[in-house]
Amino acid sequence: VNADSGAPTIFDKIINKEIPSSIVYEDEKVLAFRDISPQAPVHVLVIPKFRDGLTELGKVANHLVLYADARHGEILGQLLYAAKIVAEKEGIADGFRVVINSGASACQSVYHLHLHVLGGRQMNWPPG
């Protein structure tokens, strides 16, 4: 699999409601839903919803670090703001972690940009 191919991922099906997910927050541009394999009592994924044919945005959806540029500041900020909303809704605002696994060596497995919001237990540092 070419990780940066821009091909649709399982998250497109979640965005389109073709497969179910447990949605925590949604607005026009952002979707937040529970991770199917939670690594903490609260483990929510925050993703951009766009798949609108804009190649550069599609690429950013796949791999933040390689393809983001100044035009993407707004959506990147919206994702982080949504992480805050999720933390408050889930009752972990006093202590939580936001993670982006970017690229294979960081264990990215789904190539659609996503923020992990993790909390509800003591988080260790450094991560493995």
- For the CB of residue 107, give the shortest distance to ligand 5GP in the complex, in Å: 5
Our answer to whether residue 114 is catalytic in this structure is yes
Q: Which of 61, 108, 113, 118 binds ligand 5GP (CB under 6 A)?
A: 108
101 binds ligand 5GP (CB under 6 A): yes
Q: Quote the Cα angle for 37-11-62, to 5°.
A: 110
Going by C-alpha positions, the residue among 120, 116, 121, 124 that lies closest to residue 35 is 116
Q: Which stretch binds ligand 5GP (CB under 6 A): 28-36, 46-54, 73-81, 117-125?
A: 28-36
State which residue, 71 or 127, has the beta carbon closest to ligand 5GP: 127
Whether the CA torsion 19, 23, 29, 35 is positive or negative: it is negative
9 binds ligand 5GP (CB under 6 A): no
**Apex CA 123: angle with CA 42 and CA 23, to 5°?**
15
Q: Which amino acid is at 115?
A: L
Q: For ligand 5GP, give the closer residue by CB, 20 or 53.
A: 20
107 touches ligand 5GP (CB under 6 A): yes
| Positive or negative: CA dihedral 90, 108, 106, 29 | negative
Q: Which residues bind to ligand 5GP, rule: CB under 6 A?
A: 10, 21, 33-37, 45, 101, 107-110
